[in-house]
Amino acid sequence: MFDSLKFYKGSLVDLEEVVHKLNKYGYTRCRKISSCGDYSLVGWILIIYPVTFEYPVRLDFSEDIVQSIKSIDLVSYKTITEHNGIIILPLGELKRKRIKKELLELGEQPIDSFVDIEPGDFVVHIDYGIGKYLGMQRIRRNGGLKDYFVIQYKGGDKLFIENAELHKVQRYISFHRKPPQLNSLKSKRWQSAKQTAVKGAARIAKDFLHVQAEREKTHGFAFSKDSDWQKEMEDAFPYNETPDQMKAAIEVKKDMESSRPMDRLLCGDVGYGKTEVALRAAFKAVVGGKQAAFLVPTTILAEQHTNTFFKRMEKFGVRIKMLNRFRTQTEQSTIVEEVASGKVDIVIGTHRLLSSDVKFKDLGLLIIDEEQRFGVTHKEKIKKMKVNVDILTLTATPIPRTLYLSLMGGKDISMIETPPLERSPIDTQIIEHNNAVISRAIQQELDRGGQVYYLHNRVETIEKTAQNVRKLLPRARLMVGHGQMNSKTLESTMIKFIRGEIDILVCTTIIESGIDIPNANTMIIDNADKFGLADLYQLRGRIGRFDRKAYAYLIVKDLGTLTCDVQKRLNAIKKYQELGSGFKIAMRDLEMRGAGNILGVEQSGFIDQIGFDLYCRLLKREIENLKLTVL
């Protein structure tokens, strides 16, 4: 079990003991923190920069009571997000390999960190099963006060857990929206359910390894090492790569150089640089004599990617074409013919690429952007394209099946978790419709020379909405954009907005994927309660992509009449406004809407009984044990 320091709001802390432990853990005390492993204590303010955290953490005390816990910006010290509790691990522990595979240790590192568990959440205790977290309670024992994590079980029984045992607790996550049945502290049902899940995991692990072995047998095209052209093209990248971005690019290219077909998920938040990794992979494919296809969910995104690829590869003579409904039938037919004959090196397009008339002369790489945006029929066609072809899937919020496969090792995964320099979290507010607030928010952005997205997702009433906004800001340059417009008119409108010739774009969700406009940093989303969590997250990702503070306003008609589900959804998007929340959004979305039997009836049954987190650990352990047996 990891030795650790645990802090919770309202808990009693001995600061002298904390300093002693931090020193023992390998942390360095300094006047001003500057890197991971530093900490400072000035008066009643403790700032720690744990190596496992993206940002430093500030703890404010009143006497010895923790008043607040916040992630803060390293430079400005501004609050990024607040926490109910945190766990600090020793620096040395993080470098040790775990050898034991006891069931107890399955709880050491939960998928969702402890700080995300709120009172009222269902949780899983490895030894006692599913209960409801009630909060922290201070109890006097042996002449002193101690804080306990309180879980309620069936019949109202309560379990009081000391800090040292918290590694055994994870949030309960299932694939169905219905609440789980609480276990009883007096029954053996939990132990029985756990053992059943272990046996089931062992069977599924065998099937899983068989599929993986078949995948290893498949032979594809092994690309050569990077050429001089590859280095020259990559050196022309106008920004500094983040460490994660560089690591992901290396992993992708290494896969391409293997004879085994690549099947890699590149998961990174919106604006974290996934497109650059994809661009480098596509260029490598072309230099290796193969064609590359880049499948994207929207026509506007296809246009933007085409422009980016063309600018970077023009000097190398790479032939790039875009295939979508913006093209005339004659243009589409010509492009299809050129793709089939090999005259096109890279084709970028929407689901039009999946049409039966599109044939490739020698496809070597397929890049899929945001797979969850494609329907079942489209995905079946994608599967047919995948035979012996390298696959790179880009996503900010992975769908549950992909997330699961990645956790299990069934799909290689690269994570870009380092935000670009100068990026800051998006200030997100949930408000009722108020003309004065809307006018002030837009004017504030215009006063600093910026642009605004006003998102209204009903084509029938979008013109009326635009008229209302015009009345609020009569001097602003405003235009409307939506998917049912004439393609040329829409294209012209978007180009004007990109060039800064429009102040306010009243639009539908056509802007949802991939549009990069550095100057647009305020977004107003009308009827935000009508959107799903992942959709809101993706939309909000259109702003705050560069070095300017961004603001998102989620507008609802009446806060008092929102359903419980909608409130949870909106609160989650507000809570996860810190950078790099894509994985958390995916998991939270899964919890709130459910996802059916995406892993089959048998596995979904196990997950309902013991929770997604613990089931993943059991299955992963069985896979590792089987691999050891084979070796």
Q: Is the pLDDT of residue 472 over 90?
A: yes
- Residue 223 placed within a domain: no
| Domain co-membership, 152 together with 294 | no
Cβ atoms of 541 and 394 closer than 8 Å = no
| Domain co-membership, 412 together with 433 | no
Say what percent of the chain tops pLDDT 90. 32
Q: pLDDT digits over 492-513, tens only?
A: 888 889 889 999 999 998 776 5
> Which residue among 136, 169, 193 closes a domain?
193
Instruction: Give how many domains the chain has, as a whole number.
Output: 4
The HSE-up count of residue 170 (CA atoms within 13 Å, CB side) is 22
Q: According to the model, what pLDDT value does residue 281 have?
A: 97
What's the mean per-residue pLDDT of the chain?
81
- Residue 33 placed within a domain: yes
| Domain co-membership, 75 together with 167 | no
Q: What is the mean pLDDT of residues 54-64?
A: 85
Cβ atoms of 267 and 414 closer than 8 Å = yes
Q: Is the pLDDT of residue 231 over 50?
A: yes
Strands (E), 211-335: 263-268, 291-295, 320-323
Q: According to the model, what pLDDT value does residue 423 have?
A: 63
| Domain co-membership, 302 together with 348 | yes
- Residue 7: which H helix or E strand, with range? strand 5-8
| Domain co-membership, 72 together with 144 | no
Read off the pLDDT band of 540 (50, 70, 90).
confident
| Domain co-membership, 468 together with 532 | yes
Q: Is the pLDDT of residue 83 over 90?
A: no
Q: According to the model, what pLDDT value does residue 387 have?
A: 64
- Residue 136 placed within a domain: yes
User: Model pTM greater than 0.85?
Assistant: no
| Domain co-membership, 484 together with 364 | no
Which structural domain range is residue 145 located in? 106-193
Cβ atoms of 434 and 621 closer than 8 Å = no
Which of the residue ranges 84-93, 223-232, 355-364, 487-496 would you say has the lowest mean pLDDT? 84-93
- Residue 627 placed within a domain: no
- C-beta atoms surrounding 517 within 10 Å: 21
> Which residue among 176, 193, 210 closes a domain?
193
Q: What is the mean pLDDT of residues 395-424?
A: 64
Q: According to the model, what pLDDT value does residue 110 have?
A: 37
Q: Would you say how long the chain is, in residues?
A: 631
| Domain co-membership, 152 together with 301 | no
| Domain co-membership, 157 together with 119 | yes
The HSE-up count of residue 607 (CA atoms within 13 Å, CB side) is 24
> Which residue among 149, 174, 193 closes a domain?
193
DSSP string, 30-49: -SS--STTEEEEETTEEEE-
CA distances (Å), origin 68, targets 47, 60, 130: 12, 5, 29
CATH number of the CATH domain containing 146: 2.40.10.170
Calpha distance 49→17 (Å, rounded): 18
